[in-house]
Chains A and B, each alone.
Chain A
Amino acid sequence: MMLRKINYMTAGVTVLIMACLYLMVKMFALMSQNEQNQQMTNKIIKKIEKQNDSIIASKTAHIKTLLSENQKSQKIIDASSKRIHQLENSIDSIRLAFRRRKKEVEQLSDKELGKYWENEFN
């Protein structure tokens, strides 16, 4: 009776061990498949990352070029503003000079007036 019981138990344990072995084999197979999938995913991810990094690098370089162009434009604008300012000063000095000139002309004597018009036409 005892021996029978032990035999049943041994059979049970054997089944359990077999089941464990089956599960372990299956687990290893799944792990291997998982590893393959993981490798593939990593490869794709690296490719995407590389692509994105390349996009970022090219766009950064483009931005740098555009900003350098803007700096050149700014230099031109600054030079232009300087010239505009100089021209404004020139206009002011012209106005001042002609204001004086007009006062002088208003006070010309008859003889000087004659000379003035003589000079204008000759």
Chain B
Amino acid sequence: MNLIKYILFLVSFSAFSQVEKVAYPAIIVYQVDTLLAFTTDQGRKLSVLNEERKECIEINKDLIKQKEEYQITIREKDKQLTNLTKVKADQDTIINSLNENLSIAKTQRDVVTNQRNNQRAYKWTAIGVGSFTTLFMSYLFITK
């Protein structure tokens, strides 16, 4: 008889401890409302998570703005790069033109130098021929 009492006690105790171990969050029907119940510790954790969510939303807004700014920077840098490529091409053209001008100037200088040398040669030839003719005519005049 005592054994039966003891067994009943154990069963009722285990049933009581099961009631104590209700896991939260739990759904509770209170009057006409169905409630989702959390413990206060869980509530605190949820509020921290909620604050983290808010933080993420705020940071996300700024990150979207930053992304836009980076896109602007990239676009402008690309523009600069294109312009610098064009500048390089223009400078190459200028260098070619200047080289052409330089080569023309060199050719002109060569032509002028050549002309000067020819004029010198003509001058000395004329002096030689003139002197020879004068001397010869003088000789003829004297020996006549």
Contacts and interface: CB of A to CB of B under 8 A. Distances in A.
B44 A76 contact: no
B117 interface: no
A98 interface: yes
A69 B97 contact: no
Size bin of chain A's contact surface: 35 or more
Interface stretch (B1-9, B10-18, B22-30, B67-75): B67-75
Interface residues of B, number: 47
B108 interface: yes
Secondary structure call for the A interface: helix
Interface of B: 40, 43-44, 47-48, 50-52, 54-55, 58-59, 62-63, 65-66, 69-70, 72-73, 76-77, 79-80, 83-84, 86-87, 90-91, 93-94, 97-98, 100-101, 104, 107-108, 111, 122, 129, 133, 136-137, 140, 144
Given A55-B94, A76-B76, A80-B73, 6 more contacts: A10-B140, A66-B83, A70-B83, A91-B59, A91-B63, A113-B40
